[in-house]
Amino acid sequence: MVRPIRLIGDPALTEQAEPVRDFDKQLRVLVKDLMHTLRGDGRRAGLSAPQIGVPLRVLAFSVHGRQGHVVNPVLEPSERTQDGDEGCLSAPGLWVPVRRAYQVVVRGSDAQGRPVTVRALGAFARCLQHEADHLDGVLFVDRLEPEHRAEADRRIAAAGWTA
């Protein structure tokens, strides 16, 4: 089922998500809902459970033909960084420059509890870091340099959201 996406200002986006403990049917339904919601208009790269109001550590991705999910992800970012514009489904239309690690290894589990390792570079690495931030209650605007944060805050206020 496609689920509504929470927008900046919703308290669900600023709370730390809980680790998944039960790898049951309810988790598999959540993963399916994340993937259906992510497919949306075909331009979406990633989505986290808190963005659909579920406070669990689950993220989904669909980048450059790679699709999947990770439960209880742990990230190992590289020291090499990349700068680039980043957007968020919880802030439609807002794109701002964010510095992220260029490469990341993500370890966790799939919906059945089996170990998963995802290695990513560039835009795919950016997506995984962005979604993992959601699991910690961190929004992409929280990572902005001061000069970009002021502009983002202005645009967020103009949209009627609160950050």
The residues carrying an active-site annotation are 131
- In angstroms, the CA 17 to CA 163 distance is 18
Minimal CA–CA distance to 59: which of 137, 128, 155, 143?
128
Distance of alpha carbon 35 from alpha carbon 3, whole angstroms: 10
Who's near 120: CB < 8 A, 6+ residues apart? 63, 103, 104, 105, 106, 127, 128
